[in-house]
Amino acid sequence: MNKKATPTTRPFSGNLDAASHTRGQSLYLDDIPEYAGTLYARAFSSPVAHGRIRSLDCEAAARAEGVVRIFTWRDIPGENQVGNIVPDEPLLAEEEAHYIGQPIALAVAETAEAAEAAARQIRADIEELPAVTDAREAFRRGQLLAGSRRFEMGDVEAAFAQCKYIFEGTAHTGGQEHVYLEPQGAYALPREGKVFIHSSTQGPTQVQRAAARVLGVPMNQVEVDVTRIGGGFGGKEDQASPWAAMVALAAYILKKPVKYILSRHEDLLMTGKRHPYDSDYRIGLDEGLNILAYEATFYQNGGAAADLSPAVLERTLFHATNSYYVPNARLTAHCCRTNIAPSTAFRGFGGPQGMFVIEAAIHHAARSLKVDAADIQQKNLLEDGHVFPYGQVVRDSEARRCWMENIKRNDIAALRDEVRQYNASHQFSKKGLHLMPVCFGISFTNTMMNHARALVHVYSDGSVGISTGAVEMGQGANTKMVQVAAREFGLRLEQVRIETTNTTRVANTSPSAASATSDLNGKALQDACGQVRERLFGLVREALGLSREDTIGLRDNTVRVNGEEQDMSWQQLIQLAFSRRINLSAKGHYATPEIHFDKTTEKGHPFAYHVYGTAALLCTVDCLRGIYSFDAAHIVHDFGSSMNEGVDLGQVEGGLAQGMGWMTMEDLQHSPEGRLLSRTLSNYKIPDLYSVPAEVTVHFLGSEGSERAIYKSKTTGEPPLMYGIGAYFALYGAILAFNPEAPRLYHAPMTPERVLGLLYGEKMRGNAG
């Protein structure tokens, strides 16, 4: 048999969309030319967090100028339901409202202004009911969105009995707003026998499924198309569905195109955020600082509907021990129902919340024992042969290598000396340094979602068109898919065109999420290209009279035999194949092998591979004002064999900034009545150029990579965000340098207000003691 073509095209570094982005030529949802007669929608939402809807008065709104129709749940021809994992989320509220911002009615008008004015004229008589916004309180009341889960390994209580040191406490991590550049939105067009939806979504198939459910039609009567989206970070994985279903409903009934793009204020008010968590921990160590036992209980604030909370909760448990071997662990998680907007996916998908708690426990232990947290961290790093609490055996661990490489490359010992000298000579300015290791599993934890398909056409002139299930949202997915096709056929990147992500061309897709997009879709595309290539190789073998032992390849637009260039170009080969009526199209499929997980035993092998890394973060705190800056972040990251260093580097830098924002400044708050207090970008701060470290260095570890990754190029989407957790503990180090008796507080984010309280011993809200 012929050997597969060896990748020969020189690696490209960068994003193919960069030029069109810079020129303002890239098309997003609101750039799509509108059809004549397009109508515009606007939702009327609940003004209270919990209440019984007594009546809804839409008469004045319906009579307003330019208004075409007001829709309520009674107008839905199918099922009033957009819940994915759990069917508990109506598209439009019926008898009760469960959070401020929950859609109750939809105004459709001839202009966006008229739709907005109509929505303001709708009146609802709502009997207010008690609201719950705290996860622990919801748990006490028995308000759960899904069943609780527990991962357990070893004999936890016997191990604690053997520990010399035991520490316990609580931790809190707040929510986080996605603040994608492009708000949620969709544009629906009635077509013969179907509804066509342009959607700003990470999950076209989920939008298709939800819209079909609401309309009461089969999925083949709904087509969803995505050119690209202006950022997602998980916020458009499940929560793009309601807005698409709304415009689909209106377009289906009115037989007119209908468009709805949320304003920034609407998006902040009505959409879900990263899950806030309250957690309890207990950690036990022996005299040599080995972690013998660890117990954690997580109270997840899932909001008013399940959304993706059960899956997020599961990934929290999967990552609750981070990069450490814990032979005896008991990890419990509760999915709590509260009266805030349904919490949803966000980069890291529950993993960061779990990691923060064990880092807090280690910090607690280190402070009490008067040792550096790094001593405990380094002592317990994962090695091959160790077992995760969920049963998967560690293979190809790069945890210790990343750690040691960072210490050596960045001379951490010298940095620590500099910090000590600085702190000794500055009374009201202190520095802190912290190392943050990361171990992140790659795959959808729901095994059935780990599959993808791709379509490839080689046209008769030699140009190539590809379609995959990957959604481009700024992460470079399109660029990597083009690279795959070019590499498989030995072409230049400009000879390959990637089409929009479309549910008719590529059906039953998993969302672009879980850091699995490039691997799943890239390998499906590799399979499709391979099918076409093997047909071409058969033709080459016949045309050139080659034996079965001869090796055929494609490189630089020419055919190679045994590495030697032949007098046959790519274009000549394709023309010959076309004349011989050879199929130049293929549909590829890929399903991740080996992975499995049994939820009855909470054991299995859920991940294709793990990504490792270590970050060292250095900060300076102004001890008079509580403000701070970050001097440096030095990262050693396990990229595997990167297929695009420019894109991968950008992912690491962006993930770091987003993680630092979550840990330091993004203080998402709700009032006890369920009102979002940080509902504008004037009082909800996100990182800017001045918030990131003055110096960021990223070292490519140079590991071999994993066969489960496309070309052994490990994914970079989510793991870098967790480096930001180190920012919290770097700040804590600087605080303790100023006030060694500062309260013990593991309550993120570490805002300047919180810093100031710790500097001067104030008992602030959270775990102080």
* 524 contacts: CB under 8 Å, gap ≥ 6: 452, 453, 454, 468, 469, 588, 589, 590
Report the amino acid identity of residue 706.
S
Structural tokens at position 733: 């180090």
**How many whole angstroms separate alpha carbon 349 and alpha carbon 529?**
32
CA distance 331 to 316: 9
Contact present, 480 and 491 (Cβ < 8 Å): no
Select which of 59, 314, 718, 753 is catalytic. 718
Residues in a beta bridge with 430: 621
User: What's the sign of the alpha-carbon dihedral 391, 397, 403, 404?
Assistant: positive
For the chain, the distance separating the N- and C-terminal CA atoms, rounded to the nearest angstrom, is: 70
User: At 107, phi and psi to the nearest 5?
Assistant: -95, 130
Torsion (CA) 43, 49, 54, 58 in degrees, nearest 10: -20
Could you tell me if 228 and 199 are in contact, meaning their C-beta atoms sit under 8 angstroms apart?
no
Residue with tokens 């929505």: 119
Sheet holding 123-128, edge to edge: 96-97, 51-57, 123-128
Angle between helices 517-544 and 477-489 in degrees, nearest 10: 20
According to DSSP, the β-strands at 628-637 and 585-591 are: unpaired
527's tokens: 């399979």
Rg (CA), the chain: 27
Sequence-ordered alpha helix ranges (H) in 601-746? 645-664, 725-738
Q: CA 705 to CA 612: how far, in whole Å?
A: 11
Quick check: is 472 catalytic? no
Distance between CA 412 and CA 404 in Å, rounded? Answer: 10
- Nearest Cα neighbor of 270 from 66, 70, 106 is 106
Name the residue with tokens 């570094």.
13
Phi-psi label, residue 203: left if phi above 0, alpha if psi -120 to 50, beta otherwise: beta
Bridge partners (DSSP) listed for residue 436: 615
Cα distance between residue 26 and residue 245, in whole Å: 25
Catalytic residues: 718
